[in-house]
Chain A
Amino acid sequence: DKLTRPWLPVSKPIFSVDIHPDGTKFATGGQGEDSGKVVIWNMAPVLREEDERNENIPKLLCQMDNHLACVNCVRWSNNGLYLASGGDDKLVMVWKRAAFIGPSAVFGSSSKLANVEQWRCVMILRNHTGDVMDVAWSPHDVWLASCSVDNTIVIWNARKFPEIVMTLKGHTGLVKGLTWDPVGKYIASQADDRSLKVWRTMDWQLETNITKPFSECGGTTHVLRLSWSPDGQYLVSAHAMNNSGPTAQIIERDGWKTNMDFVGHRKAVTVVKFNPKIFKKKQKNGSTPKPSCPYCCCAVGSKDRSLSVWLTSLKRPLVVIHDLFDKSIMDITWTLNGLGLLVCSMDGTVAFLDFSQDELGDPLNEEEKNAIHQNIYGKSLAITMESQLSSTIIENPEMLKYQQERQVNQNPNEAQGIGPESQTPKLTNVLNGESLEDIRKNLLNKQVETRTADGRRRITPLCIAQLDTGDFSPALFNSVPILPGSSASTQLTPQISSDSSTANSLGLRPSHDPTTTSPNKTAEENKDSATAAVNSIGMKSNLLLTSASKIEPMKALDSRFTERSKATPGVTSVPLTIGITPLDRVKDCSSVKEPKGKDETSSDSEDKIMVKSMAKRKGEMEGAEVVEKRKKGRPRKDAKMMPISQPFPQVTFLLSKDAWTSKSMDGVSTDGVTYLEVENEVSVVSGSRLSQLKWSREGREWDALLPSRIIIAAGSNDVVAVACEDRTLSVFTACGRRLIPSIILPAPMSALHCSRHFVMALTASATLSVWDVQKQTALVKNESLNPILSGTDATVSQSFLTQQGVAVVSLSNGKTYCFNSSLETWNLIADKQDSLVQCTDFRNCVSAQDALGSMGPLALTQGRNLSAGRLASRLSSTPHHLQQGMTLAFLEKQLSSALVLLSASEYRHWLLIYARFLVNEGYELRLRELCQDLLGPVHKSSSSSWEPTVLGLRKRDLLTEVLPVIGQNLRFQRLFTEYQDQLELLRLK
């Protein structure tokens, strides 16, 4: 192997090093002058000596001094787009490369060394209350984990920074190292509390706590960087002890056994890093190829300043390098090809090691590696699939569009930063084609200045570039102002620079000096350059005044630069209004609800309700609100009770036996309220008592006399149905014309509903009938409720009729059924106790528009269950694959229920959620079947039984809606293209 001695001109400690996934650069993190420091270096000069000597090839690409204190860890995301850094300032910063052309330096910095690449902090993650010791990106960059001396591990949602997914608590000491399982099932952490903990990613609970190998350990190391093998089978800890000797403990995934360790280092192991490649023995030419077991390779660094490299196929280390550094090794990183290794040390240097394939073996390619994963873990390796996908070429322009849309949606913060191509037009828009120089000339006159209510000046700044563009002239930095006749303004500058060359050692540093790299000001440094500046001025003004006398007050002035002045107390900050709106809404809701509740209870005492009536609720099928009110005596219009709008005014009410007049007011719409009024025993004619039904809407009214006492009446926009004590049912049109002669019921009426031209009757003998009074046909014929009631002591608690004439019955045991008249069966559509409902989690498949479209009979029956299930899913510790299966089953149930209920809008709603779920979770076969059903046969054939519509929705229209969803997952791009093309073909026909 080849060992390159470090050439990096750094003397401050380097705590972390990480090679970029594309291998062209690497990042280091450590201590800066008076801040933390992240530096991005060019890899080429490390790899090739001729590049190192070539002065045109930059070694240093970018320096970032934004961390206020020492940087303990730098890690590239797997896709190479981001760099995460964590430091003693308790912060995690996420960096992204800015599409900036040309170099720049920090404003006000003494360092004039230009950055070749621009890396910009795009996110600061604040949560830790102590130094951040390690950060780690999960496989395929879903999460970013950070651990801290505050004893916690924070899992950040890397797709929605700064959202926190979970804070893992359990360590009782400083957490100093993190590693993700390459399969994505676990994350492991090692802490000073003499434990190594493995946490599950499905529920973020502790999988195992390993303490034995660490019982003798003291908290002597700065870091404890543990590592997981690329095949996922082994986890190797940092500092462990065995027989009083320092080791790196090997933990087997299978049963978390701790039978092996790496022994040999004389001091504590600070860092372990597995080679990303899996190797197999190099086949020698001529020898017969023997099937050899693949193995992994692992580098171990220690406080004893030595490095050892191990192969899992060998009992002894492959190589040990002693005294590589002057101080402890802090971090190790492998090149992606697995043959190179960078090691950094507290002494401020980085060393590069280069291996040959003869030494390590033949690295397996990605497919072989996947095959191994597939063997061990089965299908769960969607993860590796995805990492491969990142390199997949997008073949279809439509696909590209949806991919981009997805990215925009996922990263709203970076919406402006898709790429330099897309920003250039934006930029010209902003600048209206004017050059920046032109703008600067007129900025003072052109900028918008207003007065606030309290009379203060308010300037609207001119936006000269969207975030992450920066394609404007870098000459802006430290530029001299452009003013008409501003030649005078430059006269000071040359003078000073010439002065500075003669200035003393404290004077202005020449701008090309690469050793001064600290932009952050300490008081001390301030003084240094302040004095320099003073000197310069002093020299210049030597002619004018005696400088010596003026230098003393200068020093007094220096403090003004760094101390917050009492003169700047700042404006009183305006209180945030965020958060008030939702609260208001809640308040509004409750204020509406409360009086209703009171009405309900008060009417309780007033109503004496007869035999087997059921609480009657009118389900307005189109998702509008329903308010029902029962009141004795005079009809009263109560503004609070009015729903906002209802397309079909409906009437319904329940009548008490005691011949009281009941009023029901149900629904308000543009055409007003409909009242249905019943008065029993209005008069007695020849021994029989007459009852009267009164109907009124907007001044129009009719009434009908019935020979028996009315027990239930119900109505819709089209019909009014009345059931009497003598077991007759009368049906009238909305104009009061009797539609059919009295229907004789087999038993007294228990519940009666009307919806459009459908009438539903539930009798006391537990039978159900539904009639279509327009067509004069029976949809459900005296069907017994026994199938759903038998075996339980449950009773009917609710019932209603949908707009499509489907009868829905809910029982007191939480189950809701509807009668499927085509199959003539009862179908279970909702179950409160259903464990599937409790454990499903499809929230990430629900888009904002979906939430609105979910109103309908299905939502009405399930409304509360669904939200309960969602909450439960967050708390429960269901394993992920189980939850996945449950969600799938649940969604399919919803879809079929919507179908049975003939609820088109809900069908569409759940179809889209279902499709999104299939896409997210990668169920290709089901997705294909779904698409096939929606597409139907492309070529007409008489034998096909395919229906072009479902619930009145055109299936191909649905497919058109589903396709963009599919387009969001690159994995399905073939599927997408296939159906997109076929749809296009059909459209052309």
Chain B
Amino acid sequence: MAKVQVLNVAVLDNPSPFGNPFQFEVTFECMEDLPEDLEWKIIYVGSAESEEYDQTLDSVLVGPVPAGRHMFVFQADAPNTGLIPESDAVGVTVVLITCTYRGQEFIRIGYYVNNEYTDTELRENPPLKPDYGQLQRNILASNPRVTRFHINWEGCAEKMEDSENVDPAPIAMRPPSCTPGKAPPLGLVPDNSMDCL
């Protein structure tokens, strides 16, 4: 099970003009202190036809993350219109929020996005070249699609165990400067048990 559970994502500033930044308020809960940051990304799907047109709008690190419930607002600029196929500018597409830990994606939250002209005239007779200034973006906030992936949260688990298994006692018990006993001859047998004298 994941150490991080997303409890809620609220879509802010929605609907909004196409050029406005995306804003998601994310609430998540973490079971234990995370030694590393979470990486969140917003991906805008430019075209349903191909992943080629996916744009990563932004990625942020979120941390430090101690155990507990946290929230933050993830704001990212609107997609680069130049990278969107003109035929796909208007209509339904998808925006994805993903979170990775140690380079592994463990949750993907998807929303349908409907881009449409607010102006009735434009709606009925959309221009060939999309007029992004007139487009309104509407995220279907009520129906997030959440997919969770099983990842290895421990990353370097073996390493950590090793260091735990080192018995600290010998170091603690012995003064660091002590040198091996050296006994003179004449039947005085050196005895290692007295190392510390």
Chain A residues proximal to chain B, CB less than 8 Å:
66-68, 91, 93, 107-109, 120-122, 124, 126, 413, 416, 440, 443-444, 447, 449, 452, 456-467, 469-470, 476-481, 483, 488-489, 492-493, 496-497, 508, 519-521, 526, 529-530, 533-534, 536-537, 541, 544-545, 550, 553-554, 556-557, 560-562, 564-576, 578-579, 582-583, 585-586, 589, 592-593, 596-597, 600, 604, 609, 611-615, 617, 619, 623-628, 643-644, 795-798, 800, 810-812, 814, 816, 830, 832, 851-852, 854-855, 859-861, 863-867, 870-871
Residue on A nearest B194 in the bound complex, by CB: A798
> Is B112 located at the chain interface by the 8 A CB criterion?
yes
CB distance from A130 to the nearest CB of B (A): 16
For B177, the chain A residues whose CB sits under 8 A away are 592, 625-627, 643-644
For A870, the chain B residues whose CB sits under 8 A away are 167, 169
Contact assessment for A619 and B197 in the assembled complex, using a CB-CB cutoff below 8 Å: yes
Q: Which of A108, A541, A612 contacts B144 (CB 8 A)?
A: A108
Q: Which of A67, A124, A413, A864 contacts B174 (CB 8 A)?
A: A864
For A611, the chain B residues whose CB sits under 8 A away are 186
Contact assessment for B91 and A461 in the assembled complex, using a CB-CB cutoff below 8 Å: no
For A120, the chain B residues whose CB sits under 8 A away are 31
Contact assessment for B188 and A797 in the assembled complex, using a CB-CB cutoff below 8 Å: yes
> Is B25 located at the chain interface by the 8 A CB criterion?
yes
Q: Which of B14, B60, B72 contacts A489 (CB 8 A)?
A: B14
Chain B residues proximal to chain A, CB less than 8 Å:
1, 5-15, 23, 25, 27-32, 35-37, 39, 41, 43, 45, 48-49, 51, 54-56, 58-75, 90-94, 96, 98, 100, 102-105, 108-110, 112, 114, 116, 123, 138, 140-150, 154-156, 159-160, 162-163, 166-197
List 18 other contacts, CB 8 Å, given A466-B69, A467-B29, A467-B31: A108-B109, A440-B10, A458-B60, A459-B60, A459-B74, A463-B68, A481-B11, A529-B143, A533-B145, A568-B98, A571-B39, A613-B184, A627-B179, A797-B181, A797-B188, A797-B191, A798-B197, A855-B175
In angstroms, Cα B149 to Cα A943, docked, is 78
User: Contacts A534-B112, A861-B194, A867-B167: A626 and B62 contacting too (C-beta < 8 A)?
Assistant: no
Contact assessment for A812 and B160 in the assembled complex, using a CB-CB cutoff below 8 Å: no
17 CB contacts below 8 A, A to B, read A108-B146, A443-B72, A461-B71, A465-B69, A476-B7, A521-B147, A545-B116, A557-B92, A564-B108, A567-B43, A570-B105, A574-B36, A589-B176, A810-B191, A812-B188, A814-B193, A854-B172
Contact assessment for A576 and B35 in the assembled complex, using a CB-CB cutoff below 8 Å: yes
Residue on A nearest B56 in the bound complex, by CB: A567
CB distance from A977 to the nearest CB of B (A): 35
User: Contacts A479-B8, A492-B142: A864 and B58 contacting too (C-beta < 8 A)?
Assistant: no
Contact assessment for A483 and B169 in the assembled complex, using a CB-CB cutoff below 8 Å: no
Q: Which of B155, B183, B186 contacts A576 (CB 8 A)?
A: B155
For A614, the chain B residues whose CB sits under 8 A away are 183-184, 188
CB distance from B108 to the nearest CB of A (A): 7
In angstroms, Cα B193 to Cα A173, docked, is 47
User: Contacts A600-B180, A627-B177: A492 and B31 contacting too (C-beta < 8 A)?
Assistant: no
Residue on B nearest A794 in the bound complex, by CB: B189
Contact assessment for B31 and A460 in the assembled complex, using a CB-CB cutoff below 8 Å: no
For B169, the chain A residues whose CB sits under 8 A away are 851, 866-867, 870
Contact assessment for B173 and A866 in the assembled complex, using a CB-CB cutoff below 8 Å: yes
- Max chain A CB contacts within 10 Å: which of B41, B142, B181? B142
Contact assessment for A489 and B15 in the assembled complex, using a CB-CB cutoff below 8 Å: yes
Q: Which of A519, A534, A570 contacts B39 (CB 8 A)?
A: A570
Contact assessment for A537 and B159 in the assembled complex, using a CB-CB cutoff below 8 Å: no
For B41, the chain A residues whose CB sits under 8 A away are 567-568
Q: Which of A572, A798, A859 contacts B191 (CB 8 A)?
A: A798
Contact assessment for A554 and B48 in the assembled complex, using a CB-CB cutoff below 8 Å: yes
Contact assessment for B163 and A582 in the assembled complex, using a CB-CB cutoff below 8 Å: yes
In angstroms, Cα B170 to Cα A562, docked, is 52
In angstroms, Cα B60 to Cα A519, docked, is 27
User: Contacts A458-B61, A537-B140: A560 and B103 contacting too (C-beta < 8 A)?
Assistant: no
In angstroms, Cα B142 to Cα A561, docked, is 15
In angstroms, Cα B37 to Cα A452, docked, is 11
In angstroms, Cα B12 to Cα A871, docked, is 59
For A597, the chain B residues whose CB sits under 8 A away are 179-180
Residue on A nearest B103 in the bound complex, by CB: A570
For A108, the chain B residues whose CB sits under 8 A away are 6, 109, 144-146
Contact assessment for A609 and B69 in the assembled complex, using a CB-CB cutoff below 8 Å: no
CB distance from B122 to the nearest CB of A (A): 10
For B154, the chain A residues whose CB sits under 8 A away are 126
For A463, the chain B residues whose CB sits under 8 A away are 66, 68-70
In angstroms, Cα B112 to Cα A571, docked, is 26
Contact assessment for A521 and B145 in the assembled complex, using a CB-CB cutoff below 8 Å: yes
Contact assessment for B171 and A481 in the assembled complex, using a CB-CB cutoff below 8 Å: no
For A488, the chain B residues whose CB sits under 8 A away are 15
For B27, the chain A residues whose CB sits under 8 A away are 464, 476
User: Contacts A108-B144, A464-B27: A851 and B172 contacting too (C-beta < 8 A)?
Assistant: yes
CB distance from B155 to the nearest CB of A (A): 7
For B71, the chain A residues whose CB sits under 8 A away are 440, 443, 461-462, 464
In angstroms, Cα B73 to Cα A982, docked, is 59
Residue on B nearest A851 in the bound complex, by CB: B172
For A122, the chain B residues whose CB sits under 8 A away are 31
Q: Which of A66, A520, A578, A859 contacts B35 (CB 8 A)?
A: A578
In angstroms, Cα B176 to Cα A801, docked, is 21
- Max chain B CB contacts within 10 Å: which of A413, A492, A521? A492
